[in-house]
Amino acid sequence: MSGRDARFRIVLVHAVRVAMQPIEDAFRAQWPEAEHVNLLDDSLSVDRAATHDLQPTMFERFRSLTDYAETIGAAGVLFTCSAFGPAIEAARTGRAFPVFKPNEAMFTDALAHGGRIGMLATFAPSIGPMEEEFRATARAGRPDATLRSVFVPDAMDALNVGDAERHDRLIAARAPELADCDVVMLAQFSTARAAPAVSDALGLPVLTSPRSAVERLKAAIIGTSSA
């Protein structure tokens, strides 16, 4: 942790291993001084995929994870899996530090580009919660905005077995379906690595959740910290 500032300890909570490297890369590029700590519970994604709705036990698990982050001195918490929005919202109630859902910053950034938003997703259970979160964000500032989602099957499986090139290729192959949008979002943290391929396929602005999230965290925490 040499060169990092413990006042800016960010706790990153992951439900899949493949989300870890993209957010590490975003911190390295955008906020290298922050001290980020990784917590991984990959049973979260397994259990989420097994049920249609978030169960009460999942809400308790997210509160417990956030409690633990508080005990180790978190200046902020970022959850990196996009299928747990309501549980994250419940877990952050009453906290003295920011607790961010993975995509809320990206949604705000996307709405600044226009009203026709596209999204490429590789984890099916995340799509419904993300669409609802997007609509809630849009209602506050751009109620006429529309979101069109494209699910890319097999891409996450490819990444999980180490075939990153196939992962990127599968996502980029579906990107032209969103060519009439103003901006395209990559839904999962793990899809951030496909941004160059998607940009080449579309010629449109392409947003990733790690980049937007780090920018928002930095603004929230630096803005409330003394020099």
Q: Considering only 1-15, 73-87, 165-179, which range has the smallest mean pLDDT?
A: 1-15
H helix or E strand, kind and range, residue 13: strand 5-14
Residue 71 has pLDDT above 80, yes or no: yes
Look at residue 24 and tell me if it is in a domain: yes
Q: What is the count of structural domains for the chain?
A: 2
Which amino acid is located at 78 in the chain?
A: L
Tell me the H-state helices in the chain.
Answer: 20-30, 43-49, 56-71, 85-92, 104-111, 127-141, 155-160, 164-174, 195-202, 209-222
Look at residue 16 and tell me if it is in a domain: yes
What pLDDT is recorded for position 225? 53
Does residue 177 share a domain with residue 139?
Answer: yes
Does residue 144 share a domain with residue 54?
Answer: no
Range of the domain at 78: 5-102+211-222
Question: Burial of 225 by CB count in 10 Å (0-12 exposed, 13-18 middle, 19+ buried)?
Answer: exposed
The fraction of the chain above a pLDDT of 90, given in percent, is: 83
Look at residue 140 and tell me if it is in a domain: yes
- Which residues lie across from 3 on neighbouring strands? none
For residues 65-76, give the mean pLDDT: 96
For 143, what's the count of Cα atoms within 13 Å in the CB-facing half-sphere?
2
Distance CA 33, CA 30 (A): 9
Contact 202, 175 (CB under 8 A): yes
Does residue 57 share a domain with residue 38?
Answer: yes
What is the tens place of the pLDDT at every residue in 129-164?
899 999 999 998 899 999 999 999 999 999 999 999
Does residue 204 share a domain with residue 108?
Answer: yes
Contacts of 21 (CB under 8 A, 6+ apart): 193
CATH of the domain at 152: 3.40.50.1860
Whole-model pTM?
0.87
Residue 79 has pLDDT above 70, yes or no: yes
Does residue 139 share a domain with residue 108?
Answer: yes
What is the tens place of the pLDDT at every residue in 186-222?
999 999 999 999 999 999 999 999 999 999 999 999 8
